Every structure is written in structure tokens, then in C-alpha cells.
Amino acid sequence: MKPSLILAALLTGTTLIHAAEQAKAEGPKTEQQPRPWAERPPVDPALVVEKASREPFTEANDVPLFPGLPPTAPVQRQPTPREVPPEGQVLEQRPAVNPTQPPAFPGQTRAVAVRTATPIEERVVASGLSHPWSLAFLPDGRMLVTEKSGTLRIVTPQGAVSAPVGNVPPVLFAGDCGLLAVLVDTDFATNRLIYLSFVGYRPKGHALMVVRGRLSDDDGAIEGITQLLTLPAHTGINHYAGGMVLGHDGTLYLGTSEWISDETRIAAQLPASPMGKILRINRDGSIPHDNPYVNVSGAEPRVWSIGHRDPEGLTLDPKTGGLWISDHGPQGGDEIDRVEPGHNYGWPLVAYGKRYDGGLLGGGRTQFPGTEQPAYYWDPAIAPAGITFYTGERVPEWQGNLFVSALGGRHLARLVLVDGKVTGEERLLLSHNQRVRDVKQAPDGTLWVLTDDADGRLIRLAPRG
């Protein structure tokens, strides 16, 4: 089934189940495997949908793309066990939310348990942070920490927490909205630039925004704030994403969500919409000339990839510079994706797991022509947030491992990767029983973690002694 037919099915009101049945009628297909970068097909212009304006970011065009969201069903999660099975056994012992969905390839889910041989100290360095969302290291080892309520603070490695940094833009603090990610420019030592993502107020609702500004010489305020990106306004408070990472090529990647409802989630499949995407801009807000949709009529030129649900964690592969993300699934189906330009990661055409009301998504399909498979997924869900690759020397056995914050799982997941495939998984920080929001590696090779709570913690992981 061609991608254009997928989109036509969505836009004409044909259900995803009918689209899946049509694809099935076209004949059998082989199991999908992650494809090497060089073998990926080019962007298909047939996926594009024309719209009246490609620039929804001016006040004149500041209107919601979709109506307000209906109330959503409460999320029911299976508690993550505080004890883990012996090393070598499958780590996840709980039943899957949807046991009828097999993985697309061996090792895509339920990896075997591994354990760090090096004794690790998990030390709470600071507490009392109000729902911290993101941290970023300054060149001198101090950290910028965002609090979701709208406060930016500086925290020392010894745990001293500063007064709020001044001139942070006002934010909406509700649901998934607030002050979200913070980044430090790679040339901070000379330009003192930082980047913030947040959900801010607009004349007709609120929207995910990205700004850049200069941290003052006395660290007391942000100066010369420039707005780099403003997404369409909306009235709901769920699913805005906001994860960011700076590319090695002078660009900035941003994860956006699709506002969660049945009415809005199809936007993730429309290159004309910036929602449910990874966006890529230059650090001054301009559009990179090599973005995959720049020369495709009607497409949003900032789009880097499509078909995402709620990508809050973004990081770069230390060897290749390629982008990896975490993406929240529904009930089950949280995933790690290796993201490549112009590709479709499936949501909501495919999904592992189920809807919050117990129904199936995409007719229960986990594979669909023209969509990519996750590198790894969890069922039951763990609610993955911030992610980072470990490149330090302090814990040699961690080198090349991917660390994933787990909000719902209340732990820090360590994924062992071999040739891009997960071969082992470990759960750290279980004894803290805290919602783990973000993880970053310090310049000295230690790992630092934020927990999401009204009394949020900053935790340092390092070898004992």
C-alpha cells in the first residue's frame, strides 16, 4: 500500500482498520528489520497534504488546528516490581498489555537482565526542586535545571541551589505544560547562549515554543531573548513533548506531540503539520537547507521525521551523530527510535499495546508499509522521558549504553546495545521509588538524574570510593 493511500484513508474518514485490511489484501509481507541508513528510501512527495499556509507561527495565523480535547481516560499502569530477576533471565516478567502482538524481530523487547558489576553510589545531591524537567551542564560543571512551574535554577555539583534565574518567559503550568527542556550552546564559553522549550500563552490558547537567550555574566537573568519557534495554539493541556538536543552540525532538534485525542492524533502522519514530529531548525531559528521536506510543496519545512506520539527524550549517538529518541506509547508500546530524516515512525497507523480504554489502535497492527519499527519497546509501559548515551571513563562497562528515564516505571533503565540492537536491560534507582524525569552525563563521567516530584531530587551516580 502506497504512503499516499495511507494518507488518503485518513483524510477521507476511512478507518485505520479498513486501511489495514486493504494492506493485508495486497499480499503478504516479510517481517520488518531495522534498515541500514544507506538503504532508506527518499522522501515520498505523495505524503504531502496541501494547506492554506505553511507558516502557522505568526499571530495572524495563531489558531488551533483542531477543536479542544475531550476528557481522557485515566492511565492505568502496572507497578514496576522493585525486585528484578537474576541476571540472564528476561527482565520484564509482567504480562504484556496486548500479548497477541509479537515483536517484529528478536531482541526488540523484553531483553535479558544485566547487572552493573562496578559498585555504584546513588547519592541525592539536592532535593526540594519543584517538578524538575530537564538539566544541562555548564562548562564549569554546574547545572541548569528547569522546574516545570516556570523556574530556571543553577545547581552546583555540591548541591547548592540558586535563586530563580530572572527573565524566564511566562509558562502555562498544567498537565504536560510548563517550562520543559534546557540546552547549553556548544559555544557557551564565548557566547553564553542557552535554549528553552516551554508551553507559553498565545492569544487563542497556548503553544509549545522555543527561545534562545544569553545567560548574564552574573548568572542572574536571561538577556536578549529571541523566539526561535512557536507551534500552533491549542486549548488542551496534554501531550506537548518539548524534548530538545543540539546536533553536531549547528542545528537544533525538537520533539512535538499530537495533543493525544482521536481528533488530533492523525496530525502525526501529515507532513503539513508540525505536530507529532521531530523538527529541525538552525540555532538562529532559520530552516536548514537539507531538511527532507524543504522542497516538497505544502509540507512544513522544519519537519525532520513524522509519525511520533509524544517524544520527550532526544539524544545523539556518540559514534555516528545520529538522532535517537524516546516516545511515549499508549498502554504499552513505549519505544526507543533511531530517527532518520524523512522517515515515518508509524503513529497512529501502528502501535504496540492498547488504547487507554482498552481498544486497539490501527486495527491492532504493529507493522505497516512505509513505516519504521522501534529499535526497542516496552509492554507494559514505563513512560520514558530523558535519554542519554554514556561515553565516560568512570564506569567502563557502561560505555555505549543508552540510559532511559522512566516516569511510570520509577527507575532508570540501562540498555546495552550491540550493533544498534538491545541485548540487555538493567533497572537502576529502584530503591528511590521516584518518577525519573531526566538523565545527563557530566563532564567528569558521572551520571546525574532528576526525579519528577513536588520535592524533586537531583541524584548522582558514580563508582563507590
User: Could you give the residue numbers annotated as active site?
Assistant: 239
Q: CA-to-CA distance for 123 and 100, rounded, in angstroms?
A: 41
CA angle 232, 211, 189 (to 5 degrees): 160
Question: How, if at all, do strands 436-441 and 421-428 pair?
Answer: unpaired
CA angle 247, 248, 253 (to 5 degrees): 5
Q: Which residues contact 99 (CB under 8 A, 6 or more apart)?
A: none
**Burial of 139 (C-beta count, 10 Å sphere; 0-12/13-18/19+):** exposed
Give whole-number Cα distances, 207 to 217, 280, 448, in Å: 30, 17, 29
Q: Could you give the 3-state DSSP secondary structure of residue 6? A: helix
Task: List residues bridging with 306 in a β-sheet.
Answer: 277, 344
Give whole-number Cα distances, 118 to 36, 80, 338, 465, in Å: 34, 24, 29, 11
CA angle 234, 235, 237 (to 5 degrees): 100
